[in-house]
Structure 1
């Protein structure tokens, strides 16, 4: 009898704690997530240059690991790559080749646009309930966290693993003056393309990278937000281990 009473009392305490979690702590976490993701969203709103409100251009040095065969500078204007100058040293005779974007073309970086859209969708999900809204079940919170985490994961993945363009896509973009021969994939040795009425074959592949600080900041905000979402999910899941009735 005493054990049953203790069990009932323990359950009552746990139910009160769970009620407090739904009514108080969940909203505190949602507010914290909103603040963090608004900071992340602001990273995609770049300062204007002062002339007509145009987005300021930023220059970044391209680098390779363990080799100096590829050097260059690219210019980013918001989510568009507007200029690029690349010097390539040929491995056989050290001949220096220079490549540049056409001045009348820009390369829209779709992955930046997509990441911005995903973070804004996550903010919308978090703000879709006002501060007086009462969550009634843990399941309701878990579904919200899953939806937010899905958007944040997609945003992070678009920045960390951007899609690789094929040679036909590069040629059709108008950024360059070469055209592919066949359907070979870019970055694949053996791919063929034409330039100046001559056919060329890709013999070596070099990957160049640059650090864009404001995108790195956004990735940090995404990671912190994902951790907060998971911590809240874990807290709700812990309560289910204390009784057979799952508050889902």
Structure 2
């Protein structure tokens, strides 16, 4: 009898805590997520449609690990790579080759636009309800968190694992003047392409990187937001589990 009374009292406490969670803490977390993701969205610095605002150009130095065979500078303007100057030292004779983007062409980095779109979708999900709206069940909160986390995971993945272009895609972009031969992937040695009247084969592959600080900031915001979502999910599921366990005890075997 005493155990049952204790379980009843504990269940009442958990129910009150769960009610407070749905009415107060969930909304506090949602506001915090909105603030973080709005900061993440601002980092992309892309002009809105019809705003006419210009995005400043930023220069980034290319770096390679353990070699000086590739050096260069990239110019990024929002989600577009508008200039590139690359010097390549040939491995056999140390001949220096220089490459640059055509002045009338830009390389649109679709992964940046996609990432921002996913962030904005997450913000929409967080704000798509009346200011006085009250959550009624834990599953409602879990469903929202899963939807937000899906958008944030997609945004993060688009920045951390961007797509690789094939030679035909490079040629059709208009950024270069060569024609691909076959469907070889650009990053595989043995890929063939034509330039002018001559045919060439890729013999070596060099990976070059540059650090874009504002994209790193966005990735940090994504990670923090995903952690907040998971923490809220854990708390909701923990309280629900405790309530169901106490209900099972009170009902008896």
Common fold, TM-score beyond 0.5?
A: yes
Tell me how far apart the structure 1 counterparts of residues 211 and 49 of structure 2 sit (CA, whole Å). 21
Relative distance call for 1:71 and 1:14 in structure 2 (3 A) is same
Per the TM alignment, residue 185 of structure 1 is displaced from its structure 2 partner at its CA by 0.6
Tell me how far apart the structure 1 counterparts of residues 66 and 247 of structure 2 sit (CA, whole Å). 55
User: CA offsets per residue over residues 128-163 of structure 1, 9 Å max, x none?
Assistant: 123311111110000000000000000000001000
Per the TM alignment, residue 242 of structure 1 is displaced from its structure 2 partner at its CA by 7.9
- Which runs of 4 or more aligned residues in structure 1 lie more than 4 Å from their structure 2 counterparts after TM superposition? 46-52, 237-248
Relative distance call for 1:65 and 1:148 in structure 2 (3 A) is same
Per the TM alignment, residue 104 of structure 1 is displaced from its structure 2 partner at its CA by 0.6
Relative distance call for 1:6 and 1:43 in structure 2 (3 A) is same
Per the TM alignment, residue 55 of structure 1 is displaced from its structure 2 partner at its CA by 1.3
Relative distance call for 1:48 and 1:155 in structure 2 (3 A) is closer
Relative distance call for 1:239 and 1:188 in structure 2 (3 A) is farther
Structure 2 residue runs without a partner (length 5+)? 237-241
CA-based RMSD: 3.3
Contact 1:181-1:193 at 8 Å conserved across structures:
yes
Per the TM alignment, residue 54 of structure 1 is displaced from its structure 2 partner at its CA by 2.1
Relative distance call for 1:18 and 1:168 in structure 2 (3 A) is same
Per the TM alignment, residue 113 of structure 1 is displaced from its structure 2 partner at its CA by 0.3
Relative distance call for 1:244 and 1:209 in structure 2 (3 A) is farther
TM-score normalised by structure 1 residue count: 0.93
Tell me how far apart the structure 1 counterparts of residues 248 and 82 of structure 2 sit (CA, whole Å). 60
User: CA offsets per residue over residues 54-94 of structure 1, 9 Å max, x none?
Assistant: 21111110000000000000111110001101000000000
Q: Give 3-state SS (helix, strand or coil) of 2:203's partner.
A: coil
Tell me how far apart the structure 2 counterparts of residues 239 and 246 of structure 1 sit (CA, whole Å). 11
Name the residue aligned to 1:200.
Answer: 200
Tell me how far apart the structure 2 counterparts of residues 170 and 34 of structure 1 sit (CA, whole Å). 38
Number of aligned residue pairs: give it: 248
Higher RCO (CA 8 Å, separation ≥ 6 residues): 2
TM-score normalised by structure 2 residue count: 0.92
